[in-house]
Structure 1
C-alpha cells in the first residue's frame, strides 16, 4: 500500500544532516515523515521544488522582540512574522523587556501575549537577578521557559549581575 501524505515537496535539492541531494519530502500532520523518493506516493497537496534548495528551518536562540514595554521597536507578532519569512521556525526570546521577565507572573504574561499572535514556535528566557538567584532552579522549569539568561556586561533594569 502506498503512503499518503498531507504535503509532498517534490524534486528539490534537500540539504540536511546527510549532506545535499535530490529528494522529496513527505509531511504528515505538519511534521516531516519521510525524505527520499516519493514518486509513487500521493498527497493532499504537492509543491514542485524543481530547481530549488530545500533547507531545514532555523531555530534562533536569541531574539529581542521587546514586548512588553518597548513595542515601538518590535513586538512578538511582527518579530516572529519576520523570522518566519526568513525561514526561522522557532525563537527563544530574551528577558530584557519592560518589565523584565524574571518571575512566574512576567513569564505568564509573555505566554499570554504570544498566544495566537506568534508565527513561529517560541519559548522565553527568564532573567537571572540578585533577587531571584535562589529560585532560578524553579523558574527555569516554568511552562514556556527555555533557560536562564544572566547578563554580566550590560543590560536593562535589574538584569545586570556583578
Structure 2
C-alpha cells in the first residue's frame, strides 16, 4: 500500500511538472503526461527509497529548496534579458572567457546541482567540476571581473549557500 501511494504521489507530481513544462492544458497534454508519469512511476516504484517525513529539518529543507527554485527563476529571467541584449546588439562589446570559481560546499551532489544550475542559467556553462579541489570552471559569455571571488559572487550568488542548506545539513 505504501509503494502504491508513493507511486501515485510521484505520478501526480510528474504530471503537474509535465503540464507546467508544456505550458498548456489540453486533453493531449494530459493524456501524454499521464502515460509518461505513470510509466516513470512504475519503473521507479522498486527503486524508491526516499520516504516523506514531516520532521522540522525536512520542512526547513523544503523551504530552502523553494527558495533555491525561486532564486533560480529570478536569476534565469535576469540572465535571459542580459543575453537578449547581447544578441540584439544593444551591448556592443562582450568578453567571453573561462573563470575558475572556488567552492565552499563539501558534498559532490551539491556541487553537481550547483554546476547544473549554472549551466541552465543563460550566459554561463559549467565546463569542469573538480570535487577534490572544490572548484568549478565556468565559461562566461561576458566576463565582467577577473577576480575569482567577485566572479563567484556574480555567477554563483546565493545558490551555493542554498544548495548547502538543502543537501548538506
What's the TM-score bracket when you normalise by the shorter of the two chains?
under 0.3
Higher strand share: 1
Task: Tell me: higher relative CO, structure 1 or 2? Use CA pairs within 8 A at least 6 residues apart.
Answer: 2
TM-score, normalised relative to structure 2: 0.26
Q: Based on CA coordinates, which of the two structures has the bigger radius of gyration?
A: 1
Higher helix share: 2
TM-score, normalised relative to structure 1: 0.27
